[in-house]
Amino acid sequence: MLLRLVISTLHRAAGSGDQPWVLPPLLALHAYPHFQGQIHAEQQQNNYLPAPTQLSQDQLEAEERIRTQKSYSTALVASRKEPPPYGHRKGWVPRAFEDFGDGGAFPEIHVAQFPLEMGRKKKTSNALAVQVDAEGKIKYDAIARQGQAKDKVIYSKYTDLLPKEVLNEDASGLQKPDEEAVEELTEKTRAALQKQVSQKIAAAMPVRAADKLAPAQYIRYTPSQQGVAFNSGAKQRVIRMVEMQKDPMEPPRFKINKKIPRGPPSPPAPVMHSPSRKMTVKEQQEWKIPPCISNWKNAKGYTIPLDKRLAADGRGLQTVHINENFAKLAEALYIADRKAREAVEMRAQVEKKIAQKEKEKKEEKLRDLAQKAREQRAGIKNQHDKGDEDAEAGERDMIRHDKRKERQHNRNISRAAPDKRSKLQRDQDRDISELIALGKPNPRISNEAQYDQRLFNQNKGMDSGFAGGEDETYNVYDQPFHGARDMASNIYRPSKNIDKDTYADDFDSLMRHNSGFMFGMIFGRLKVEHGLLRTKSSLVPIMDRGEKARSSLRRILSVWTNSWSRPSSTAAPKGRPPATAPKTTTMTRNAGRSESASHSTG
């Protein structure tokens, strides 16, 4: 065994040329030197001699050995399997096709059995059948072409990867196709695209011309059964075939709004490049992108090192440049400050001096007064002082009288009506300082927090919702804030005096006292000028049938005057009739509205 190993090593060493071969001394055997000469001679000869066309016996044997090693699985073991005879079937399970021989299942073996593959589920293989080319070689690219269109170009060979040799500029393979071919292709493409476009557009067009019907066809029909009884006795019939008219507005018969699932993608093309290189550590590090650090946002609340924060700040990036105007401003401020201080000081000094003078003057005055008082003490009293004392005494008497009267009144009350007294006393305390306007919303300001009354006296709490868990009933805002009655009547009720502002008091009296005849006369007279009614203070369009209805005219007037009086009432002072000239301007502005008003009545 060892010997053979050594020999094979030697063979290899000799075969691979003049490589020095060394054996470990422990393996070196006595037998080994005998080979040396022979091998060396062989090796030398190989260099000079042509390769033998016929192989010698031992070479043949060696090749045979190699071949058998290579073909590992081609050995045919032609042994026919049969079920073991009775009595030897303990633990034996028929599974393979041969286990059954020619017969059926073994009922005594309680295992699912499929004799002659009966009852076994069919397994379909998607393996391709072997295809060969004209020379009998196997087409290995069949698997790459599977499922692809016939005309598709698929590269799968090694030679497709190799670079082509460098061709000259005018090589035939590099020339563009001639113009004719290009033109032909262009026409073909254009036609194909045009077809596509017309289809797509037709679907989007709102109106389509009805499809033209094909011309009627006439068919001569000769029945096979001839005779009087058949076919109404006619020998032949001419049938006119007409295409049925189509309704262009007919909705599509089939549902087309469903999305059709996309078909399977075409099989992938063979990859014609080497697998990508594994990433080196250096490249991985190059791809490491530092996280964005903001000084303003840190949504996840990470702890950011101080140096990173400073780096993100970008403060180190730009050099500090201070505008010289800052220095100028500081200087100017300093000077202004100093000047202001000086001025203040100066003013303070001046004030001090003035105060000094004032003080002296006051002292002088006091001295004068003291002098005067001294002189008076020496002189006689004035007349006016006596009258004053009488008045004071009278006043005191009055007060005394009042007090007495009040005491008497109280005494009477306490004596006469004890039940009335409480009411009076209660009324005494009543606060009637605030005037309560009835029927108006009372914006009472209270300091207490206001609670929704519905939340009280409920044993379930807030979760249960309003109205005891009834979500459906909505009663939060289902009532108006105030009863429609009060509010509407207060806000929209015309007050009596609105008209007074604009047309003095006598308007109503005028209306009341003048008869229809008067109206007609006045209107008729005024109709002459501009078609406008000029009353004492307003302009009104004239009706021919002025006497028709006094009340309707009153309504017109109010609509009319309301329409224009609002803006002018702010401009003109209230109570005084506005001048005529500004009113005509408002007239023109509201011309549209006046027309509509007159129209509604006329």
- At position 265, the amino acid (one-letter code) is P
Q: Is 9 in the site for other proteins (CB under 8 A)?
A: no
User: Looking at 7, 105, 143, 154, which residue binds other proteins (CB under 8 A)?
Assistant: 154
Q: Which is nearer to other proteins, 200 or 513 (CB)?
A: 200
Q: How far is CA 281 from CA 34, 120, 140, 286, in A?
A: 56, 55, 39, 9
Given the complex with other proteins, which of 14 and 557 has the nearer CB atom? 14
Residue 62 touches other proteins, criterion: CB under 8 A: no
User: Of 497, 491, 572, nearest to 538 (Cα)?
Assistant: 572
134 lies in the binding site for other proteins (CB under 8 A): no
Token pair in block for residue 306: 């101080």
Sole binder of other proteins in the list 73, 74, 110, 158 (CB under 8 A):
158
**Measured from the CB atom, is 47 or 124 closer to other proteins?**
47
Is position 18 an interface residue for other proteins (rule: CB under 8 A)?
no
Q: Which CB, 50 or 494, lies closer to other proteins?
A: 50
* 86 sits near other proteins (criterion: CB under 8 A): no
Q: Which stretch binds other proteins (CB under 8 A): 48-56, 104-112, 401-409, 524-532?
A: 48-56
Q: State yes or no: residue 196 binds other proteins (CB under 8 A).
A: yes
Cβ burial, residue 83 (10 Å; 0-12/13-18/19+): middle
Residue 72 lies near other proteins (rule: CB under 8 A): no
Written as six digits, the tokens of 153 are: 């170009």
- Identify which of residues 85 and 147 has a Cβ nearer to other proteins in the complex: 147
| Residue in 65, 81, 188, 554 binding other proteins, rule: CB under 8 A | 188
Residue among 116, 181, 348, 498 that touches other proteins (CB under 8 A): 181
Residue of the chain from 192, 336, 343, 484 that contacts other proteins (CB under 8 A): 192
- Give the span between the Cα atoms of 231 and 236, in whole angstroms: 9
One residue of 135, 250, 388, 434 binding other proteins per CB under 8 A: 135
Interface with other proteins, residue 128, by CB under 8 A: no
Cβ 1 to other proteins shortest distance, Å: 20
Count of residues engaged in binding other proteins, rule: CB under 8 A: 74
DSSP, residue by residue, 455-488: GTT-SS-GGG-GGGG-SS---SSSS-SS-HHHHH
Beta bridge partners of 104: none
- Between residue 269 and residue 288, which ones bind other proteins under the rule CB under 8 A? 269-274, 276-278, 280
What six digits make up the tokens of 9?
A: 């090593």
Residue 319 binding other proteins, by CB under 8 A: no
Long-range CB contacts for residues 554-558, cutoff 8 Å, separation at least 24: 554/511, 556/597, 556/598, 556/601, 558/499
Radius of gyration of the chain (CA): 63
d(CA 208, CA 249): 9
The amino acid at residue 292 is: C
| Binder among 151, 180, 419, 434 for other proteins (CB under 8 A) | 151
252 to 197, 201, 489, 565: CA distances (angstroms): 21, 17, 61, 64
**According to CB under 8 A, which one of 77, 130, 201, 462 is a site residue for other proteins?**
201
Is residue 330 within the footprint of other proteins (CB under 8 A)? no
Minimum Å gap between C-beta 122 and other proteins is: 33
Q: For other proteins, which stretch binds (CB under 8 A), given 101-109, 174-182, 542-550, 554-562?
A: 174-182
Q: Do the beta carbons of residue 553 and residue 520 sit within 8 Å?
A: no
Label residues 356-370 b or e (16+ Cβ within 10 Å = b): eeeeeeeeeeeeeee
Partnered with residue 238 across adjacent β-strands are 220
* 15 touches other proteins by CB under 8 A: yes
Contact 591, 553 (CB under 8 A): no
Q: Which of 4, 45, 323, 324 binds other proteins (CB under 8 A)?
A: 45
Residue selected from 5, 9, 21, 40 as contacting other proteins according to rule CB under 8 A: 40
- Interface with other proteins, residue 17, by CB under 8 A: yes
* Positions in 253-272 near other proteins (CB under 8 A): 265-266, 269-272
Among 49, 75, 378, 438, binds other proteins (CB under 8 A): 49
Give the separation between CA 543 and CA 549, rounded to whole angstroms: 11
User: Is the distance from CB of 111 to CB of 105 less than 8 angstroms?
Assistant: no
Q: Which is nearer to other proteins, 207 or 449 (CB)?
A: 207
Examine residue 48 and tell whether it contacts other proteins (CB under 8 A): yes
- Looking at residue 124, its amino acid is T
Stretch that binds other proteins, among 155-163, 238-246, 340-348, 545-553 (CB under 8 A): 155-163
Decide: 470 and 429 in contact? Cβ < 8 Å: no
Q: Which of 129/166 has CB closer to other proteins?
A: 166
For the chain, report the end-to-end CA distance as a whole number of angstroms. 138
Residue 217 main-chain phi, psi, to 5 deg? -105, 145
Nearer to other proteins, 267 or 480 (CB): 267
Which of 37, 91, 301, 316 lies at the binding interface for other proteins (CB under 8 A)?
Answer: 37
